[in-house]
Structure 1
Amino acid sequence: MKDFYWILVRKFLYFYYAIYNYFTNSEVRLITQMVGEQQVNFRNVESHTANDNDDSVDALCVICQERQKCVLTLPCRHVCLCTECCMRLYGYQRTCPICRTFIYHSVTIYL
């Protein structure tokens, strides 16, 4: 009977360590997967940061390509001009350079 007891204890411990190792390996796999996902997210952030430099080019006035866009044209609501080019445009034709809609009013905005 005593031998049977030790056999059961040994099998129980073997089973316990097998389950422990299984869940430990599962946790390691889960953590590895999470780290991999974070690396992908980090790469996405890096690529968006690189694309932000392209966005700074898009923030330039469509006429002079030197100053930042800061004028909202109405009624079309395009933000495509700097204040200097807007003043020059008012003296010349008063149409939006994007859609050619007549500009009734313009508003300086701060981005």
Structure 2
Amino acid sequence: MCVRHQARTQEMKEKDHTYVGNADLNSHVCKVCFESLTSAMLLPCRHFCLCKSCSLACAECPICRTEIADRIFVFT
């Protein structure tokens, strides 16, 4: 029974690592065009989810639908 538990634990760790790895690949991609890297923090909600051109074209945050009052452009 202990061997089966260890195998199951290892399997869950591998799945969790794979999921985090895939999330990291997509975490800095614009959530509107899916082509450019994110470079704009939206205010007042502070979501960092859009590239510069999409942030200028959007009137509200695509994550929470808050009206965009201002943008901070970030250089990574």
Q: Which has the higher strand share?
A: 2
SS at match of 1:61: coil
Count of residue correspondences: 63
Aligned to 2:43: 74
Larger radius of gyration, structure 1 or 2? 1
Measure the CA separation in 2 of the matches of 1:64 and 1:110. 19
CA-atom RMSD in angstroms: 2.2
**Structure 2 unaligned spans of 5+:** 1-13
1:100 and 2:69 matched: no
Aligned to 2:26: 57
The C-alpha deviation readout for 1:3-47, integer Å capped at 9, x for no partner, is xxxxxxxxxxxxxxxxxxxxxxxxxxxxxxxxxxxxxxxxx8xx5
Measure the CA separation in 1 of the matches of 2:20 and 2:44. 30
Change (3 A) 1:52 1:110: farther
Which amino acid is the alignment partner of residue 99 of structure 1? C
Residue 110 of structure 1 deviates from its aligned partner by 2.0
Residue 77 of structure 1 deviates from its aligned partner by 0.3
SS at match of 1:106: strand
Bigger relative contact order (CA 8 A; separation at least 6): 2
**Structure 1 unaligned spans of 5+:** 1-43
TM-score by length of 1: 0.48
TM-score by length of 2: 0.68
Q: Which has the higher helix share?
A: 1
SS at match of 1:67: coil
Identity %: 34
